Every structure is written in C-alpha cells, then in structure tokens.
Amino acid sequence: MKMPTLLKSLALGLTLTLLGGCVTQTPYDYTAFKQSKPRSILVMPPVNSSPDVQAGYSMLSHVTLPLSEAGYYVLPVAVVDETFKQNGVMSADEAQAIPTAKLHEIFGADAALYLEITEYGVSYQLIASEVAVTAKAKLVDLRDGRLLWDGSARASSAENQNNNGGGLIGLLVAAAVEQIMNSLTDRSHQIAGITSARLLTAGMPNGILRGPRSPQYAENDKPAQQ
C-alpha cells in the first residue's frame, strides 16, 4: 500500500472512531410516565439471577432511599415482603408474576418497581479482583399495566483501582490485599448501594423522573437535554 493511501486509511479510521464516540444517547420516551403521574411505588422482591443468595435482600435494602429522595412514597419493603410470605408467595419470581391489577388491589400503590440482579459479588483473577453489582429495573403502572420506565446500572470496585505501578510483584501484593479486604468486609453490599443510586436517582440521563414530593417536580415538563 502506498504511503498516501495508508495515511488516508488511517485518517478515515480515526475519523470514524471519533464519530462513533460522539454518538449521543437517544432520549427516553417519558410519555407514559408523564401521563401516569405515579405518587406511590411498590418495590417488588428482586429476582436474583446471580449466584449469591444475599443479592436480593441486599439490593432491596438500598432502593427506598433514592426513590424517596426522588419524590415518591415508597411502601415499606419489609412490610411488603412479609405480606407476600404470609400469603404463600415465597419467591421473587412468584411475586413478580402476580397481575398488576391484583397488586393494586392489595397494596393500593400507583406503580410497582420490578428489579432483576444479573451480577453480584466478587470475581477473582490472578492479579486482580473485582466486586461488581449490575441490576435492571422497570416501573409499571399498577392501574393499567403500562410500562412507564426501564433502565439498568452497574457499579464496580475496579472503578477506583490503579494497577499501573509496582511491577508484577506489586500487582500480586495489591491483588492479595484487595481479596482479603473483599473477604473481610461486605463490599458487595456497599457496591449494591452505588448501583441502586445510579439506577434510581432522579434527574440522571434517561433515568427515573422526579415524583410529586420533589421540589423539582415541575422540571419533568421541561424538554429533555441532549
């Protein structure tokens, strides 16, 4: 390949890469959400698709705070969980399979938040370890079954790790220390809190809208910024 042709190819590749990095995220369609105007939210028991049996209750313990701060009344998750159990609904899959009309009849909430945890816990490698939590959520109107919003979020302990210095021995020592810390502390539960905040904090791009208890509730009607 001649040099001018090679340079043109490299320039074209660089241009396409830069253009790919500049693609803007498609704004979420909040039409149904704004029409519904939910005031109260029923948080359903999370479906746990990860190997860690603690994932469901860990995530469940974190979701009330961001939803309340977003401006919604959140039905007490412990009371909801106990209500399901008292009525013979022992698993999250069974709970999430209950018709929306029935949930509205029992709990009286305007909407329900359905959660699924797809990643939770520690993954080990030779020179690194990572604690990560990934979750998906969808908000459904219990009065008519419409999907109001859905999203996903991930948080990881590796976001703050720096393994650039110290050579191989330094990396091995750092990995050993990190694994010990992950074993001695409940890092997964802490990371789940970060995931929950990223997933359910109002005002984030394509995130959940603010509820009527929020002082910024009127901002929901402003045009979305791209």
To 10 degrees, the CA torsion angle through 38, 43, 48, 49?
0
119 closest CA partner among 102, 132, 136, 138: 132
Token code pair at residue 105 = 């009849």
Q: What is the pLDDT of residue 220?
A: 87
pTM, whole model, 2 decimals?
Answer: 0.80
Q: What is the pLDDT of residue 29?
A: 96
Q: What is the pLDDT of residue 16?
A: 47
Rounded mean pLDDT, 119-147: 87
Which residue in the block uniquely carries the two structure tokens 């412990």?
A: 78
Strand 111-124 versus strand 47-48 pairing type: parallel
pLDDT in tens, 149-182: 999 999 998 886 655 555 555 555 555 555 555 5
Rounded mean pLDDT, 116-120: 97
Confidence of residue 26 (pLDDT cuts 50, 70, 90): confident
> 145: alpha, beta or left, given left = phi > 0 and alpha = psi -120 to 50?
left
Token code pair at residue 107 = 């709990």
Percent of the chain with pLDDT over 70: 73
Q: How many CB atoms lie within 10 A of CB 164?
A: 7
Mean pLDDT over the full length of the chain = 84
Rounded mean pLDDT, 27-36: 95
Q: What is the pLDDT of residue 207?
A: 96
Q: What is the pLDDT of residue 225?
A: 52
Which residue in the block uniquely carries the two structure tokens 């909801």?
A: 80
117 closest CA partner among 201, 202, 196: 196
Distances from the Cα of 53 to the Cα of 48, 91, 122, 131, 138, angstroms = 8, 12, 13, 15, 22
pLDDT: is 123 or 121 the higher one? Answer: 121
